[in-house]
């Protein structure tokens, strides 16, 4: 269903789309919260009365965990995540799997075979984690 539109047809279709201000405000609020702009989210909430889906006061902790993951320190990220919410990894096994997978990727990037084997021995019960290496 690949269709090419002429520019005037595309502009007409865009003009026909009606976006509610409330929906746009929720989109902006979500962006501010997800990207960690706490002060901007607070001001935006005051100005628009748009409530975020999560607690604005927790943005700092969330960003700290995210930055730790982005830096490649997955064990530290898991520790911070457990400090933040001790039940989150138990209640979301998919998240835990992806964090373990990322930890393995980080070990592979470092090229330390001993650490990779140690990690495999510690996490051997989750053989699915290593399947992607054989693809």
> What pLDDT does residue 123 have?
75
Please tell me whether the overall predicted TM-score, pTM, comes out greater than 0.75 for this model: no
- Joined together, the tokens standing for residue 27 give 């989109």
Structure tokens at 73: 């320190």
pLDDT mean for each 10 residues of the chain (135 residues):
80 88 96 95 96 92 95 95 92 92 90 85 63 49
What is the pLDDT at residue 23? Answer: 93
Contact 91, 68 (CB under 8 A): no
> What's the Rg (C-alpha) of the chain?
21
User: Where along the chain do its domains lie?
Assistant: 1-54, 58-135
């Amino acid at each position: 269903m690949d269709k090419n539109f002429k520019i005037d047809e595309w502009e007409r279709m865009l003009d026909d789309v009606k976006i509610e201000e409330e929906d746009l405000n929720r989109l902006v609020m979500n962006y501010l919260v997800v990207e960690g702009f706490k002060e901007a989210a607070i001001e935006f909430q005051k100005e628009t009365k748009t409530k975020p889906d999560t607690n604005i006061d927790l943005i700092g902790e969330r960003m700290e965990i995210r930055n730790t993951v982005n830096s490649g320190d997955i064990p530290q990220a898991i520790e911070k995540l457990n400090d933040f919410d001790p039940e989150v990894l138990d209640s979301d096994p998919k998240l835990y799997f992806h964090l373990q997978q990322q930890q393995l990727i980080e070990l592979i990037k470092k090229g330390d075979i001993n650490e990779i084997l140690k990690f495999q021995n510690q996490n051997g019960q989750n053989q699915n984690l290593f399947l992607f290496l054989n693809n």
